[in-house]
Structure 1
């Protein structure tokens, strides 16, 4: 197995993208660039899409990188350069439970995320809640991953349907 050096980890909110990206970075010695840190400034101020795209383009010009997501306005950028897309195509219930558990933990602990931001009860109950994003985006993201997997002109896509499938793949992956 050739060890990939430009990896896009993709999936719905709560599927474990960041956890996997961090694991791969440690195991392969490839730099991980957390996408949320590139998209959000303090006080949940979203970076303008043009600036997001510039940041992602700069990363994707490098020879080695891991990204834990790809969003509108620049999704095409990592897809052109990726050696591998790892698509976490987990069942809705599993990813939603994981997301809910993570969100509740962050509410209780006040854990800082992306540039000092924190989830609050207000943000979790809002129309822009990560929980709402999961519910409304799940089907769209799943169709996107499956379309990438079926497209012979794009990068190779490892479509994983369970954490067990991921663990089996990781067990075969060489480490540095």
Structure 2
């Protein structure tokens, strides 16, 4: 059984929280639910930083400037952080909530979400719409899931270990990936809580909404789960979900 390891530095009421996970894990739904439960402002990265209408991606410099403007504020909950400006977020974040779900779960959620958006014509990512042609294209979000899955899980492990990811970014800029590994070191990094099952996250979100603490309780316990959305994402105030993990089940892993 994996019990959470609570640090004395774990923030009881964090005001700057980053949600991070592989594509399709439900981090946007989770960030939105957490923001609604705590009253913190939520930022959809795909909406306000990543994309322009016509599926044109903002250039890296503009994304970094927009990211810097957000993290300069005292309170925020972004639903992700792209590699070109993730270091800015981690330098200011008090807590990282990482969704480390199995591939089958995140991929199935992503496929269902994509199909739903195509059928309904939902406007996403700052004025854009998913189409069947785009879903099958070389730069589709489903293909991106496969391309980025291992890397994003590695980022989660690095954040857990307290490695300085800004060093990896700087070394990548000059094309030296080996130097990235050499430069990584332990620094003052935010606390990290990793959820490997949706029910763990749901219980934690419910605890945040009932005022019993944004982090795990003193004994590592969590409350009853909030309902899951249609795409597998969580929703604040939803129907009753599964109860928190039983004693025999894996628990979320915390690090500070």
Give the alignment's TM-score, normalised by structure 2.
0.66
Structure 1 equivalent of residue 135 of structure 2: 124
TM-fit CA distance, 1:119? 0.7
SS of equivalent residue, structure 1 residue 173? helix
Closer, same or farther: CA 174–104 of 1 in aligned 2, 3 Å: closer
Structure 1 equivalent of residue 243 of structure 2: none
User: 2 CA distance for matches of 1:125 and 1:45?
Assistant: 17
1:82 is aligned to 2:93: yes
Specify which structure has the bigger relative contact order, considering alpha-carbon pairs within 8 angstroms and separated by 6 or more residues.
1
TM-fit CA distance, 1:3? 1.4
User: 2 CA distance for matches of 1:172 and 1:24?
Assistant: 10
User: 1 CA distance for matches of 2:160 and 2:210?
Assistant: 25
Does the CA contact (< 8 Å) of 2:34 and 2:209 recur in 1? no
Structure 2 equivalent of residue 16 of structure 1: 26
1:5 is aligned to 2:40: no
Structure 1 equivalent of residue 122 of structure 2: 111
Alignment of 1:28-67 (within 5 A): 28-37=38-47, 38-67=49-78
User: 2 CA distance for matches of 1:87 and 1:137?
Assistant: 15
C-alpha RMSD over aligned residues: 1.3
State the 4+ residue runs in structure 1 displaced beyond 4 angstroms. none
Does the CA contact (< 8 Å) of 2:18 and 2:95 recur in 1? yes
Gaps of 5+ in 2: 1-10, 163-185, 212-256
Aligned residues: 176
Gaps of 5+ in 1: none
TM-fit CA distance, 1:171? 3.1
Higher Rg: 2
Does the CA contact (< 8 Å) of 1:8 and 1:84 recur in 2? yes
User: 2 CA distance for matches of 1:15 and 1:132?
Assistant: 15
Deviations 1:49-94 (A, max 9, x none): 1011011101101000011111121110100000100000000000
Deviations 1:91-146 (A, max 9, x none): 00000000000000011111110221001111100110100111111111111101
